[in-house]
Amino acid sequence: MRFNRILLKLSGEALIGKEDHGIDPETVRDIAFQIKGIKELGVEIGIVIGGGNIYRGMRAEKQGIDRVTGDYMGMLATLMNALVLEDALKKTGIAARVQSALQVEKIAESYFNKKAIEDLEKGRVVVFACGTGNPFFTTDTAAALRALEIGADVLLKATKVDGVYDRDPEVHSDAVFFSEISYIDVLNKGLKVMDATAISLCMDNNLPVIVTNIKKKDNLKKAVLGEPVGTIVKGVDTL
């Protein structure tokens, strides 16, 4: 096994399934079983989940809502997704905890780095909700931050495409796939892997990022085992 502790970044859209918004229970169960398969390898798993299936803070200004208010609304959407995923994981027999960057003590623990690491070491999956707890920061940045804070070996970003392309493969049939790419090339080419703050944070701390398709059920396990799947983003000197 190549990686012993991972941070899995899930978009809110990953929970939609065949719907156009919201949460599809069957899709959530499928993701939970994929995570269980990784957990049974002995991997310690932290998860950051987005909220785009419910609400995006960046939509706020277009709707006449203050951006800061909208971002907090988006954070609450991630909390809803985290609670759904926690429930699904528990139903597979996996111990899971939600830790929130915002204080919502009646439904989730507040984020505390040492407690998160303790839970991971005890075999619990920790789902981090509410991003960084600050407006103007994406859940991609939250994923990079939490990965570094818990000492993850890799940030595994689950998407709906096979990895990183030079442009959207769902729109452009001739899009070029990258099996490996450097952080700096991602930034220079303006590729939509993660936002620039998240990529820069990974680059500054030499945290590898693997981007893979969650719709292919064995991909997460293959990535954890170090098999070539998806795209790996890392430093120029390690390519």
At 75-126, the pLDDT tens digits run 999 999 999 999 999 999 999 999 999 999 999 999 999 999 999 999 999 9
pLDDT band at 57; cut points 50, 70, 90: low
Dihedral of CA 137/154/152/127: which sign?
positive
pLDDT band with cut points at 50, 70 and 90 for residue 33: very high
pLDDT at residue 236, as a whole number: 80
The pLDDT of residue 222 is: 93
Give the count of beta carbons closer than 10 Å to the beta carbon of residue 107: 12
Give the residue carrying structure tokens 């396990």. Answer: 221
Chain-centroid distance, C-alpha 100: 15
Cβ neighbours around 73 below 10 Å, total: 17
Q: Does domain 5-238 have CATH number 3.20.10.10?
A: no
- Nearest in space to 80 (alpha carbons), one of 23, 26, 126, 36: 23
- pLDDT bin (cut points 50, 70, 90) of residue 58 is low
Banded pLDDT at 18 (limits 50, 70, 90): confident
SS3 7: strand
Q: Tell me the one-letter amino acid at 229.
A: V
